[in-house]
Amino acid sequence: MMTQMRNPTLLLLLLLSSQLCSVLSWKKDEFRNCNQTPFCKRARARKPSSSSLIAQDVAIFDGELTAKLFPEKTQENPDEQDQDRIKPLVLSLSVYQDGILRLKIDEDPKLDPPKKRFEVPDVILPEFSNKKLWLQKLSTETIGGDAGPSSIVYLLDGYEAVLRHDPFEVYVREKGGNRVISLNSHGLLDFEQLRVKRDGEEWEERFKGHTDRRPHGPQSISFDVSFYEADHVYGIPERATSFALKPTRGPGIEDSEPYRLFNLDVFEYLHESPFGLYGSIPLMISHGKSRGTSGFFWLNAAEMQIDVLGSGWDAESGISLPSSQSRIDTLWMSEAGIVDAFFFVGPGPKDVVRQYTSVTGTPAMPQLFALAYHQCRWNYRDEEDVEQVDSKFDEHDIPYDVLWLDIEHTDGKRYLTWDRMLFPHPEEMQRKLAAKGRHMVTIVDPHIKRDDSYFLHKEATEKRYYVRDATGKDYDGWCWSGSSSYLDVLRPEVRSWWAEKFSLENYVGSTPSLYIWNDMNEPSVFNGPEVTMPRDALHQEDAEHRELHNAYGYYFHMATADGLVKRGDGRDRPFVLSRAVFAGSQRYGAVWTGDNTAEWDHLRVSVPMILTLGLTGISFSGADVGGFFGNPEPELLVRWYQLGAYYPFFRAHAHHDTKRREPWLFGDRNTERIREAIHIRYMLLPYFYTLFREANTSGVPVVRPLWMEFPSEEATFSNDEAFMIGSSLLVQGIYTEHARHASVYLPGKESWYEVKTGVAYKGGRTHKLDVNEESVPAFQRAGTIIPRKDRFRRSSTQMVNDPYTLVIALNSSQAAEGELYVDDGRSFEFQQGAYIHRRFVFSDGKLTSLNLAPPSPGQAQFSSECVIERIILQGLTTGQKSALIEPENQKAEIEKGPLLLHSRRGPTVITIRKPNVRIVDDWVIKLL
């Protein structure tokens, strides 16, 4: 939703305000750049080796390596005045299972700093502490020409962590050999300590008419991180730019900004820009052909700026690193917080994602309906509009599962209410949808209208649950509802109170089939600095907003999701969509890429944005199909549906100023194309659901970069126009108007089968393919088995008992395998073992179904009567005519059948018809 006011009176008031940020178009000068951000400017100005620290008092304590960091100058000038002396910092290194190293650096609480620096709570999983390896001893080694020894601790078989004492450095290396990741190799660590303000000292900062009091003064942290043997680095979302991060500093790079991590409501953002958007996940992952994959995560919710340093950036420094390995250097800068950093050794791409999500959590398992198609617009006008849209989907034989309502459904922008003129019977409206297996989503944003008659505002005020301004009063900012206040969701008791508001009793007009959308939760404040909350606003225990800004939306998302769980007495999984993102958001629901535009370039950039989110733990993401702003031409809209059908989160959404663009409004032929794209999504729901379960258990994303499956193929490293869905499907988008050809790189040594035609293409090469407007190129990898449901209903809920199709794509060894995961699609009983998990293996002319679910005696059970009605065999080189089903000893016929049941012009393929084996059973089908 854009930051543009539509209430005339409110708009006039805002325009009269001298502090109003222009929201009529995205303007670069409305947001701070590095030179306007003092901590960033200071950090960028420092030269290599400008910070010479020494680690002393190194010891093992409480299972960790501990030390103190002293600057060299305090050793040389022990008589400095206390006011100017830099006090020693405390350091700890701890080791966790699976090759995870944690580094913490903070001020020494024994030296009585003016306040405790903020540490981000509730992001690291509580159970992660149980994975700590209790260090018993450390070894020492003199590295290179160092004057003294360094300390070495075990990290993982084949890996060690090194604390270099003088000069201070921390790095991970292969045992006795090459480096993997290092911190402070260039001596750029700077830790601005809290101190008492001197008389006459100016700490305030000003920007665009706003004043930040900065009562605790400079407290920034910066340091360099190097990734060795890396060809590219990725991650640190959210921004609309290439998947592989481009250098921001170095020879030949002029006027480039660092990658900014500061959650912002950016109106109509630009494509191909490093500018930060709605989310901030400070995780960077490196990948290279020779070394593999590694990762670095800094748990810090303050504003962060990160430079990717181009080769030769330090040419003038005159220093020599103690390694001849190639590397990518980066500079990390943050306004506040502490150093709480995690090193992930990999060595494979999936290993790094698994390691990261073992710290911050794996993605939540969504309800099945949430993976289907969602229809949204700002705004569906009233109940009649809702009913008409719903009936039109049925009339045009287009399935959908969720219809969304934006802010106009509320009573005067008061969330958790209804405009009873437009929506007089909300329960009945929802029940009509539910009768067809459909659901509704309503928007609930964090700004609460300051209206004494509004029950939320009245209670929050009485309980003092709001964020306070710098003077201690409830903060008052402007958003959709006009004068608004914002809940202090950092406080657990406030989150618990908020969660209770989603009960059916409190949210009057809601039903169990209603779910929630959190927008504007960066938080967006129209008259605030950079359209957000002032940095000197106060949260619990006087934590400043600057210290936790990037996590505000995370806590609001958490509280809302908990509310839906409580609503159903802990039985049903929640669905909550959030715009703001932080590390750990994957545990609470889906996200989308915000206010994009109906342009081909925005269609293209949606892929690297989704890939990046997936790489950093956020599997359940998507972009607004068709673009939020503007009016897409029919060809662009069709292409967006064809690509969006493969997004993890598949939703069409549009701004209220755009023309209506429901799928049937662009002529019969385009309606047919959109219908077919949506049908493909419904057909693949069993495969998507299985992949979401994989993400839920391992952290491995649903949509993946090609190099995650083919990590040694350099041709995949910078390819962000194509992507993998799981390990079995490759999709190539079409991003240009009137395209008649597409170049598609198909990795690996095995063949790939085009999904719609069954035509086989060789792997390991680029194919120039003819394309038409009927679909985008999509291919099944040889050696895989994909489960489908080929019968189409009104919604996914009505498909639950339908039979399955298995599509087997044989490799050169005439073998293939795949998986199917099934549960009840809605409850948490799968966590107690109530699910079906099968592995299908084809080899030696027979297909075997194996049980992957562990035995769960006495726990919840789940069963299904669903059967497999078709088995498609692609690439079969023999000519069998029948098959034998064991142990029943029944025969099934092998004949030619359609590859896609609903395709008018589809090819025929070898098919085992109606074997009718149950998905819950063990069985073998032999070709005869």
- For residue 710, give both structure tokens: 């083919």
**Chain centroid to CA 298: how far?**
16
Pairing of strands 283-288, 765-770: unpaired
- Cα dist from 843 to 638, 783, 838, 925, whole Å: 39, 10, 16, 11
Does the active-site annotation cover 30? no
Question: Among residues 228, 108, 602, which one has the least CA distance to residue 592?
Answer: 602
d(CA 369, CA 436): 12
Phi-psi region of 850 (alpha: psi -120 to 50; beta: other; left: phi over 0): beta
- For residue 490, give both structure tokens: 């950092």
| From 160, 257, 390, 519, the catalytic residue | 519
Following DSSP, what letter does each residue of 500-562 receive, concatenated? HTTSTTTSTT--TTEEEEE-STTTB-TTSGGGB--TT-B-GGG-BHHHHGGGHHHHHHHHHHH
Pairing of strands 100-107, 64-71: unpaired
Q: Is the peptide bond before 711 cis (omega within 30 degrees of 0)?
A: no
- For residue 513, give both structure tokens: 């089939």
Q: Which residues contact 346 (CB under 8 A, 6 or more apart)?
A: 99, 180, 292, 293, 294, 295, 352, 355
Following DSSP, what letter does each residue of 195-231 receive, concatenated? -PPPTT----EEETTEEE--TT----EEEEEEEET-S
Contact 652, 375 (CB under 8 A): yes
Structure-token match 């306070």, residue found: 468
**Chain centroid to CA 214: how far?**
32
Pairing of strands 741-746, 765-770: antiparallel
**Chain centroid to CA 835: how far?**
26
Sheet holding 576-578, edge to edge: 621-622, 590-592, 576-578, 514-518, 439-443, 402-405, 373-375, 650-652
Residue 597 has what DSSP assignment? B
Rounded to a whole number of angstroms, the CA Rg of the chain reads: 28
- For residue 677, give both structure tokens: 């794209």
Does the active-site annotation cover 662? no
- For residue 10, give both structure tokens: 């409110």
Contact 236, 281 (CB under 8 A): yes
Structure-token match 């030296």, residue found: 111
Q: For residue 624, how many other CB atoms are within 10 A of its CB? A: 24
Number of H helices, E strands in the chain: 15, 52
In the chain, the N- to C-terminal Cα span, in Å, equals: 59
- For residue 901, give both structure tokens: 């049941």
| From 257, 307, 445, 595, the catalytic residue | 595
Q: Give backbone dihedrals phi and psi of 323, rounded to 5 degrees, phi first.
A: -160, 140
Pairing of strands 402-405, 373-375: parallel
Following DSSP, what letter does each residue of 364-424 receive, concatenated? P---GGGGSEEE--TT--SHHHHHHHHHHHHHTT----EEEE-GGGSBTTBTT---TTT-S
Does the active-site annotation cover 519? yes
| From 224, 469, 522, 817, the catalytic residue | 522
Helix (H) / strand (E) containing 333:
strand 327-334
d(CA 692, CA 794): 22
Catalytic residues: 519, 522, 595
